[in-house]
Structure 1
Amino acid sequence: MGLGLLASIIVGGLAGWIASMLMKADTGLFLNIGLGILGAFVLNLLLSLIGVYAANSWIPQLFVGILGACLLIWGYRKVKS
């Protein structure tokens, strides 16, 4: 069973906020939440394709969300420029 919707939003928001600080991106609250959730989802999907699964608790999911959101911010910057 997953983290749950509310926990996913909280962890995703925190992950997105941390990623925006690391990447020095000026994004808003809702974009932070979206990037964190989408980043965690995309990176979990990619990792599962190679047989790596993040533990089903908030700490590993936070790290995966941060890394995934950083990748999305990087990709957005590449497409934008």
Structure 2
Amino acid sequence: MQGIGWLAAIIVGALAGWIAEKIMKADHGLLTNIILGIVGALVLNFILVALMGATLGGWIGQLVVGVIGACLLIAGYRAVRRA
């Protein structure tokens, strides 16, 4: 998570994971929310940088990217689990 620091990354990751959990109607714990939010943000940031050469910055930008990334991870997990 570029530019917001580790503590802020954990807080934003937890919030992003929680929001994604509510959007996707999943049932996870706090640790899973933090992991999904942070990993989702990292994955989507990597994709955005590869495609557009830039990503969203700051707390709000990282929250949005984290939520979208975590939603994609939850959807991917569900798709793999069904197969």
Which residues of structure 1 form unaligned runs of 5+? none
* Partner Cα separation in structure 2 for residue 52 and residue 62 of structure 1: 19
**TM-score normalised per structure 2:** 0.93
Q: Normalising to structure 1: TM-score of the pair?
A: 0.95
Q: How far did 1:2 drift?
A: 1.1
The separation in 2 between residues aligned to 1:38 and 1:23, in whole angstroms, is: 16
Are 1:76 and 2:73 matched, yes or no? no
User: For residue 49 of structure 2, what is the amino acid of its counterpart?
Assistant: S
Provide, for residues 1-58 of structure 1, a one-character-per-residue CA deviation record: whole Å limited to 9, x for no partner: 6100000000000000000000000011000000000000000000100124223200
Task: State the alpha-carbon separation in 1 of the partners of residues 71 and 53 from structure 2.
Answer: 19
- Aligned-residue CA RMSD (Å): 1.1
Q: Distance in 2 between matches of 1:52 and 1:74?
A: 25
Identical positions, percent: 58
5+ residue gaps in structure 2?
Answer: none
Aligned equivalent of 1:7: 8
